[in-house]
Amino acid sequence: MAYKKIEAAAPLTPNKPASADPGPQTPAEDLLSQQIAVRLRTMIAADELKAGERLRERALAELLQVSRTPLREALKILRGDGLVTLLPNRGAVVTALTAEEVQEKLDVLGLIEGFAGVQACRRATETDLAEIRALHHEMLAAFERQDRANYFRLNQAIHSAIVAAAGNNTLRDVHAAINRQLLRYRYQGSLNTDTWRTAIEEHDTIVRLLAERKAEELGAFLHHHVRSTWEKIDWAQFVPSPASDRKQPPEKT
């Protein structure tokens, strides 16, 4: 299949012939693979590469204007993220999570971000707070322009900055690993105009509580904010299995 062009699809670096003996990757090639992985994560989050879809190396290499060797390394990175599954005799496919798996990961992510919020209130420097406020203002501007792509990028940057301000490297690494698996669902959950506006209001509260260093309030609010992604997801479009086999989200009590 021919993949849809994405923004900034200029060559990441000059191609090498696909037939060349790849050998060990150089530092420049490692960087290129990381850049390709970032691009593919964006395509998965935006649903340009759909859950369960086979990733055809030739078409992707042509789209991204890179050779297949760094592309394969990028796919291995995404396999480590849990975003791609490598299947025998079929190659790489976009990993499809069940509704239950998404809820489990959101539950854990909510706990992580709640704890991060508590710690950030206690440990964040004034520079950290200024950076988060600046990101928030940029996100508001993206919202006013109805620029969803940049809005989501800045939204995620704010969450990551709060986790970083908690001053715990292990927390930051675990958060990044789980969040990467949920980017697609969090992005799609922001496409509804009503929930988008609600998210903006919630981010106003997050930034205010952090500035006031109200640790317990911010922790509880972030926990709810992350888990509320669940109510924003249209599950009919996300669960790829046939209707007879489809697992539905468990009922709320």
Name the CA dihedral angle for 62, 64, 68, 70, rounded to a multiple of 10 degrees. Answer: 170
Q: Which tens digit of pLDDT belongs to each residue from 150-187?
A: 999 999 999 999 999 999 999 999 999 999 999 888 88
What is the C-alpha separation between 105 and 180, in angstroms, rounded? 11
Q: Which domains does the chain have, with CATH numbers?
A: 27-94 (1.10.10.10), 99-232 (1.20.120.530)
Give me 90's structure tokens.
């079929």
Q: Which tens digit of pLDDT belongs to each residue from 94-132?
A: 999 988 899 899 999 999 999 999 999 999 999 999 999
**Whole-structure pTM value:** 0.78
